[in-house]
Amino acid sequence: MPLVRSRPLLVAAVALALAACTGKPKGSSASPVALPSSATALPTFTATQFRELLTTLKGKPVVVNVWASWCGPCTKEAPSLAQVSAHYAGRVQFLGVDIEDQLTLARAFIAKYGWTYPSVFDPTGSIRDDLGLLGQPVTILYDATGTKVFSWSGATSPGQLAAEIAKIVPA
């Protein structure tokens, strides 16, 4: 009789152990990463989350721009990014990575330059470091397969960026 009574406890213990083993590993995203909901949302991303986001964007060319509101060359190139992103809207996904910044200043920067594409917030610069980059701004162009086809350190001009995009996307 004692064996019959302990069976439900054994089943419950096994079920609990199995449930604990099927969860996501510690440190992984609880939900799939997605593009931020607006240009000024600026959700904090880790390097791992950013790599996951780039993977979800395969199938469309992507321009990644690493920037900060306190960066002089970033200020210089900001109008160019607004212009080129507007020209390629719907055909190329632009994505900013705001590093080592303050959210209030970053949101004001986005509004000032009229950026309509999303950025993620990287308070420690870990995404930049994971990409193997030094400093900012840096602009990277990935083709639709996710292959890096262009990278530029320093302020980019609208002509330069548009010329690189035009190599993989019709104007």
Question: How many alpha carbons fall within 13 Å on the CB side of residue 101?
Answer: 27
pLDDT of amino acid 33: 87
- Coil/strand/helix, residue 64: strand
* pLDDT value at 116 more than 80: yes
48 vs 78: CA distance, rounded Å: 26
Q: Which residues of the chain form beta strands (DSSP E)? A: 62-67, 93-99, 119-122, 138-142, 148-153
- In this prediction the pTM is 0.81
pLDDT digits (tens, 9 = 90+) for 134-170: 999 999 999 999 999 999 999 999 899 999 999 999 7
Domain 27-166, CATH class in plain words: alpha beta
- Domain borders along the chain are 27-166
**Mean pLDDT over the full length of the chain:** 86
Query: d(Cα 94, Cα 118) in Å, to the nearest integer?
Result: 7
How many CB atoms are located within 10 Å of the residue 1 CB? 5
Model confidence at 101, pLDDT cuts 50, 70, 90, reads very high
